[in-house]
Amino acid sequence: MSDKATLEVNGKKHEFPLVVGTENEVGMDISSLRAVTGGVTTLDPGYKNTGSCESAITFLNGEEGILRYRGYSIEELADKASFLEVAFLLIFGELPNQEQLSKFAHDIKEQSVVDDDIKKILDAFPKSAHPMGVLSSLTSALTAFNPSSVNVDSEEAMYKTVVKIMGKFPVLVAWTMRKQKGLPLDYGDNSLGYVENVLKMMFKKPNEEYTQNPILVNALDKLLILHADHEQNCSTSTVRIVGSSHAGLFASLSAGISALWGPLHGGANQAVLEMLEAIKEDGGDTKKFMAKAKDKEDPFRLMGFGHRVYKNFDPRAKIIKKAADEVLADLGVEDPVLDIAKGLAAEALSDDYFVKRKLYPNVDFYSGIIYRSMGIPVEMFTVMFALGRLPGWIAQWREMRLRKEPIGRPRQIYIGETHRPFKEISKR
């Protein structure tokens, strides 16, 4: 295969180098395009065909339903690793040995106290505030209490910032839920593992000892691993572009949380449960909702279905579907919504509209069913997605900074008014 692409523009031919990745993906390097063509640019709304960077963190193949973190398959990691091991792998590139893992866990625990003044910011929110908006605000506010986290001009400074947010973020996650429920804010317990501590901070009642449930610990650990990274998705691209201006990590993460909030992205896990509940309330008539999803006049979409990259099954959805059955059985929970979900998936997978557009259940389709069985409120589902995605965002931000990527600044094609003289108000 040639190592160059040739483009002909206005009768003139130009060659551009082809970049081939370790999984044989081919990219046309057009960084000289405007210079050699006198200003011609590309146009690709939603960046469906545009690579923003080279990355060594996550590989996914949408046609074959493959997802790997640093070369390890999502199936093996979900089955054999812990979330903290996967976080270390994503951020630093290798699975940690026991000494590295223990140090990482220790350094994170050292940073798991949040400045008490953050509670004043939390108090300013109404109980009705969506937890994603609260979490984004509190994450950005962390910069004010940790100013040294902004100028990370050494790997040591970067490491300190990484363990700071890995330690403090779970506290903020728990506080957003407890705020909504009117419960006192808890710092958890450093004698516990990462996921156990999250569950205790979220669920401990002020007047009872908290007893860990290994089913919930294992389920949450697996869910966090499955959400940990997903190459250049909307929220990760947001973290990268905000970070490319050398805004601090916490400000970049705050922007990523806001991007994830949208119902077309991470907010879909909440939208799925609301959709399934609506179908249940409506008598379980899935065909009616399928018709709405296919009706171009109707803005309704089948939430939890479709994906920008996966044009086959989302491997995470397969794992979560199996986990949903196991967790609900282990908890002895009968949830009719799971049956509705399975019925909807079966119908869509045999419906021409969905088959033709290669629309399959994605990571958000079943995850909310497990979160709900764990007693997590539906408004907190996307917050749990953010907790899982945190190490992926950190890894992508760190890679961008270490590779000294340029500030992100896309071009455009202007389609507005051409030059015109100012018009006095009396003449408008």
Q: Which of 359, 383, 361 is nearest to 371 (CA)?
A: 383
Q: Does 280 bind ligand SDX (CB under 6 A)?
A: no
Is the CB of 186 or the CB of 229 nearer to ligand SDX? 229
Residue 73 exposed, middle or buried by CB count within 10 Å (0-12, 13-18, 19+): middle
> Does residue 308 interact with ligand SDX by CB under 6 A?
yes
Bridge partners, 7 (sequence order): 14
Size of the site for ligand SDX (CB under 6 A): 23
Q: Of residues 29, 307, 335, 352, which has the active-site annotation?
A: 307
Told to check if 342 binds ligand SDX by CB under 6 A, we report no
CA distance 128 to 45: 35
160 is a site residue for ligand SDX (CB under 6 A): no
User: 172: how many CB neighbours lie within 10 A of its CB?
Assistant: 25
Question: Counting contacts by CB under 6 A, is residue 264 touching ligand SDX?
Answer: yes
CB of 135 to ligand SDX, least distance (A): 17
Q: Which residue sits closest to ligand SDX, CB atoms considered?
A: 306
CB of 193 or CB of 343, closer to ligand SDX: 343
**Of the residues 186, 221, 314, 364, which is catalytic?**
364
Which of 307, 321, 372, 398 touches ligand SDX by CB under 6 A?
A: 307
287 binds ligand SDX (CB under 6 A): no
Which CB, 18 or 309, lies closer to ligand SDX? 309
Q: Which is nearer to ligand SDX, 15 or 298 (CB)?
A: 298
314 is catalytic: no
Residue 364 a catalytic site member: yes
Least distance from ligand SDX to the Cβ atom of residue 293, Å: 4
302 binds ligand SDX, rule: CB under 6 A = yes
233 binds ligand SDX (CB under 6 A): yes
Q: How far is the CB of 232 from ligand SDX (least distance, A)?
A: 8
Residue 337 is a binding residue for ligand SDX (CB under 6 A): no
Residues 6+ apart with CB under 8 A from 68: 58, 59, 60, 74
Q: Point out the residues that are catalytic.
A: 307, 364
Interacting residue ranges for ligand SDX, rule: CB under 6 A? 46, 230, 233-234, 264-266, 268, 293, 301-309, 357, 359, 362-364
